[in-house]
Structures are given as structure tokens and as C-alpha cells.
A and B are shown apart, each in its own frame.
Chain A
Amino acid sequence: DAKTTQPTSMDCAEGRAANLPCNHSTISGNEYVYWYRQIHSQGPQYIIHGLKNNETNEMASLIITEDRKSSTLILPHATLRDTAVYYCIVKAGGSEKLVFGKGTKLTVNP
């Protein structure tokens, strides 16, 4: 599975959009981009995934560049409860392994 690069930490003001970037320049054609988050002392939570088209669900939007070498997770109106570590993971369809990196620690400030 391709590796990902994320900033170590980010800050965001409550009510503003949080844009979390992820680089995955070695992604292969059959690999999906997944985002999970882990709130302190809890298990990770699935957020969203995509292959090449932009995706949106009730939690977030995922923007994938046309060359698929990077993506951005967007939390449109961040709240204090969105403070967590966000993981960007690249995984081939049909693969059972989720390989977690260090992620981005997002702090939403009041």
C-alpha cells in the first residue's frame, strides 16, 4: 500500500472549515483513499473514502486531485468535538490491511 504524508498538527477555529491535507504521491490505480479519526482514548472512527471522484457525506467532504497524488479532507463547520487525530490511509480495494501512520492532530479552538 502507498504511503501517506500528513502535517503533524493543525489548528482551526470553531465554526470555520477545517481543511486537512494528505500527500500520497505513490498511489496506485486500484488504491482508495480512506480517512479515519481518533478522539482521545477512543477507537478510530471511519469518516469517508474515495477513489478518484470527490465525495461528501454527513461528516465531511473528500477532495482528490485529478492526478490522485494528494487529497484534502474538509470538515465544513468544525466543532470542539472534532478535536482528534485524523488519519489518511491508502489501501487497495480487497486488501484487508489498514496501515495507520501518525496522522494529523487537529485542535478546534473556541
Chain B
Amino acid sequence: ETGVTQTPRHLVMGMTNKKSLKCEQHLGHNAMYWYKQSAKKPLELMFVYNFKEQTENNSVPSRFSPECPNSSHLFLHLHTLQPEDSALYLCASSRETSGIVNEQFFGPGTRLTVL
């Protein structure tokens, strides 16, 4: 148990559906991250939020829309996804982004399948 929870753990959706992934951290951290891990590919950073402000968008398609209402919660809204978007989506948090040491704590991930 890392103090970072993600729901749902598994999600199957059609290409025309709209769904949201939720991440919550109970560590008092100020930075939160979304990563994508496709089969047989390294983890890819998608978005970074620091003190609720988005500080990084790693050229992510607009069909992925992040939302960070407060430092403890992070959402990833999904719409009109493609089958190639099927992957493990991981959330992480850290104290902040500008610290010298930026240890990130990861959640268990949401396994997404797009049909």
C-alpha cells in the first residue's frame, strides 16, 4: 500500500464511450502525475500537476483530458479512444516537482481495454 489509490482497477470501454479514471493520494503531496504503460513499452509520462497547476503535457492527444481539482485528487477523462490506447494507466504523487529529490509514489494502475 503506497498511499496512492486508483479506481477503477480495470475498465473496458467502447470507442464512443466517455469514462474517467480517478486517482487519490493520502500522503499530503503537492504533485501528481499520469503515466501510460503499453504492452512491451516503457512507461511514458503523460501529465504533471504541481499545486493543482498543469506543468507538463507530454504531447498527449486531446482525447485524454486531465483534471486536478485539488492536490489530493487527479482525474483522467477519456473520450473517443482508440484500441491502441489500451494500456495500464498509472498515477503517481510526490511532495512537489521542484525538490532536489523527487521520489514518486505510484498507485496500482487502471488496466484499460478499448474495444
Q: Report the stretch among B14-22, B60-68, B72-80, B100-108 that lies at the interface.
A: B100-108
B45 near A98 with CB under 8 A, answer: yes
- Interface residues as binary, A21-39 with B (CB distance below 8 Å gives 1, 0 otherwise): 0000000000010100000
Q: How many residues of B contact A (CB 8 A)?
A: 28
Within 8 A of B (CB), among A59-110: 91, 93-103
B103 near A94 with CB under 8 A, answer: no
Q: Which residues of B contact A32 (CB under 8 A)?
A: 100-101
B108 near A46 with CB under 8 A, answer: no
Please judge, given known A-B contacts A42-B108, A44-B43, A46-B104, whether A94 and B99 are in contact too, CB under 8 Å: yes
Residue among B45, B55, B102, B109 with the highest chain A CB neighbour number at 10 A: B102
- B residues sitting closer than 8 Å to A (CB atoms) are 2, 4, 31, 42-45, 48, 50, 55-56, 88, 90, 92, 97-109, 111
- A residues sitting closer than 8 Å to B (CB atoms) are 32, 34, 41-46, 49, 91, 93-103
9 nearest A-B residue pairs (beta carbon): A43-B106, A96-B97, A93-B100, A100-B43, A100-B42, A46-B103, A44-B106, A43-B90, A94-B98
